[in-house]
Amino acid sequence: MGSQECRLVVRGQLLTPMITKKIKFTLLGCKATIINPRRRYYLKINASKPMYPYSYISYLGKIEIKVKSSSLTVLNQKCKLLLQKTHIGRYQSEGLGEIKWKGGYIDNYVTKSEKHVKERKLRIRKGLPLKLTLEQQKLLKYALLHDFFHTPRHQSKIYQEPQIKDQQLVEKIKKHHEKTTNPMIKQFQYYDRLAASITRKIRSPIISRYNWQAKKSRRRINFTKLAKEIQEVAETNIWNLYRYMYESKELRLVNESMTYGHTTLRNHLLVIANLIVQDFGNESRQKNKHKKSR
Amino acid sequence: MAKSTSKRSSGKTESPLKTIIPDQTISIPRKILKVKAFTPICKPLNGSLPSSKISHLLKLWTFEYQYKNGKETKTSTATAYMIKGLRGALRHQVMTHCKERGLEVCHTSDKETDQKGNSLLPEGFHLLGSCTDSDECIVHAVFGSKGNSSKIRVSAKPIANISHKTFQAPVSIQNVQIATEKRVALTFEGKAIQDFGERYLAGEFEFEIDITKCTPEEMGMIIEATMYMHKLGGGYNAGYAELQIKGLDLVKSTTNRQPKITDQNSFTIEEEIDEEKLPEEFTNALTAWKKHLREYKEVK
Ligand SMILES: [Zn+2]
């Protein structure tokens, strides 16, 4: 058995939304979790400045706070401090994060060597893996270039189209929003949606492709030059193209979506590419397992 | 769940819960300015949902309430919303109120001009937060700026639209009229081709300004400016956003939280709020504010 500690659990209810990106956070050094969370977007408008409203992610729900200690005095102190809180989180002055404490309980908590179930996180690679089949290269190229061409839905996200020689590819890219039977486009659409669900979290409409970083640094992008550079790297190979986008300063200054102004074009493209590569890795690992078991 | 493991300690030893939970009532004393207000129609909106043409109030939750139908007690549901923008409305009023009385205070903007070079700073104000180094103005002391927290809290109890005259809800709710106004943005040959809706609220409600941390003259300024408040939400020029202040009360409000042990290892928290009117402090605050104004002019 491990060392024995007493655990205090205090429960409350959020009466107004609390601004927090994550439903697990620390409060006065204790672990806090919002149970049964309901997400609300809190829009903040600054009337004196000509700017779009900023939306904050906030949550309503029950809140549970856990403190572990072998000292009862420590628990007593924490309990007092918690019960003195009336509001938590940002913009309390506007009445956000109001909390009503309900009660709680204690139990003997035996510290175990907790099994950590590792969450699979997406890591953005510096470069693409060396081994890639031709088919995989094609899909990656399609994905990395898909936002640079005019489609019925939107203009090229850098306004200019790179003059890619492979006209077949360009034609396919222009159809990337459409319903299709082409397996590659279908496969791409799956990853595009997956990437959007990862990066498009905060709805915040914008008026310009330039993002706030660009506005801060007052940089202007030469889009014609950018398109030409992309075309040149794209003609070499997929590894160079990925690397170029990874390092590109210009793509960091461009917004990916006009309705979700918090994600850059660079980020979106890299996330798609990495999702694809991750799945390639999984597939080959499974195939290997299969071979071994035989 | 986790509760089942706690049974191990029962019986033999006394539960440590007695030592853990505070043995005294936890009291949180506050000074609150309670404001009774009425609006014929106002729209403190929170923007539209994706895939909807309607701009909504900030939705909190749906809840069940009981009402009497003859001798029967029936249950129904309603949705609670939050009134946004009260603090902003107060801040704006305080700002203009001070200017009209010859006080130079912080504007809401920390930039002199916008990108096109249009001035954002009207005469009689200074840039937000620019007074902190030398001589902090009273508005900054109360409302703060980026990095300087606000001394006050402005909030209202959730609102809902309940048609029954007497009802019992689990949380205290303010009953007002809430509805959607359909508006037409574009017409073509008499037909609406792009319409949109906006939610609005109408009726009497109350909001609270927590001024516990304020000095007497700051309190006085807030009390006086609140009396003149007349705007909440957007569309003032189109006839919306009208706010009428019906009454003010300064109260000492004490929240008492008492943990009660319910069984061996669990407890509940009972909450009670005591209120006491502070009429003397109310008038003292207004006097202190007038004195502050006089002194400001003398120095100048
Ligand atoms: Zn100032």
Query: In this complex, which of B3, B149, B257 lies closest to A83 when CB atoms are compared?
Result: B257
Residue A199: the pLDDT is: 75
Query: In this complex, which of A16, A75, A86 lies closest to B28 when CB atoms are compared?
Result: A86
Residue B1: the pLDDT is: 42
What residues in A contact B89, CB-CB < 8 Å? none
Is residue B178 within 8 Å of residue B56, measured between CB atoms?
no
Q: What is the count of structural domains for chain B?
A: 1
Residue in A146, A127, A143 with CA at minimum distance from that of residue A135: A143
Residue A264: the pLDDT is: 84
pLDDT tens-digit map of B229-281: 999 987 777 778 899 999 999 999 999 999 999 988 899 999 999 999 999 99
B134 C-alpha vs ligand 1 centroid, how far in Å? 10
pLDDT tens-digit map of A238-284: 999 999 999 988 888 888 877 776 678 898 899 999 988 888 777 77
Number of H helices, E strands in chain A: 8, 5
Surrounding residues of ion ligand 1, Cβ less than 5 A: B 106, 131, 137, 140
B3 C-alpha vs ligand 1 centroid, how far in Å? 54
Q: Is residue B8 included in any domain, yes or no?
A: no
Residue A278: the pLDDT is: 83
Residues 6+ apart with CB under 8 A from A123: A274
Averaged confidence pLDDT in chain B:
87
SS (H, E, C) A228-291: HHHHHHHHHCHHHHHHHHHHCCCHHHEECCCCECCCEHHHHHHHHHHHHHHHHHHHHHHHHHHH
Q: Do B19 and A40 touch (CB under 8 A)?
A: no
What residues in B contact A9, CB-CB < 8 Å? 2
CB–CB contacts below 8 A, A to B: 129
- The Cα A143–Cα B5 span in angstroms is 52
Can you give the residue ranges of every domain in chain A?
Answer: 3-111, 134-293
Residue ranges for chain B with pLDDT beneath 70: 1-14, 48-52, 185-188, 190-195
- The Cα B85–Cα B103 span in angstroms is 24
Query: In this complex, which of B3, B16, B153 lies closest to A72 when CB atoms are compared?
Result: B16
Instruction: Quote the ipTM score.
Output: 0.87
CA gyration radius for chain A?
A: 25
Residue ranges making up the domain that contains B226: 21-106+124-299
B256 C-alpha vs ligand 1 centroid, how far in Å? 36
Residue A193 Cα, gap to closest chain B Cα (Å): 17
- The Cα B184–Cα B53 span in angstroms is 11
Is residue B202 within 8 Å of residue B42, measured between CB atoms?
yes
CATH 3.30.460 fits A3-111, yes or no: no
Residues 6+ apart with CB under 8 A from A195: A268, A271, A272, A275
Residue B79: the pLDDT is: 94
Residue B256 Cα, gap to closest chain A Cα (Å): 10
Residue ranges for chain A with pLDDT beneath 50: 1-2
Residues 6+ apart with CB under 8 A from A43: A53, A54, A55, A56, B46, B47
A156: left (phi over 0), alpha (psi -120 to 50) or beta: beta
**Which residue shows structure tokens 């069940």?**
B64
Residue A210: the pLDDT is: 76
Residue A111: the pLDDT is: 56
pLDDT tens-digit map of A43-58: 887 665 556 677 889 9
pLDDT tens-digit map of B75-93: 999 999 999 999 999 999 9
Query: What is the pTM assigned to this prediction?
Result: 0.69
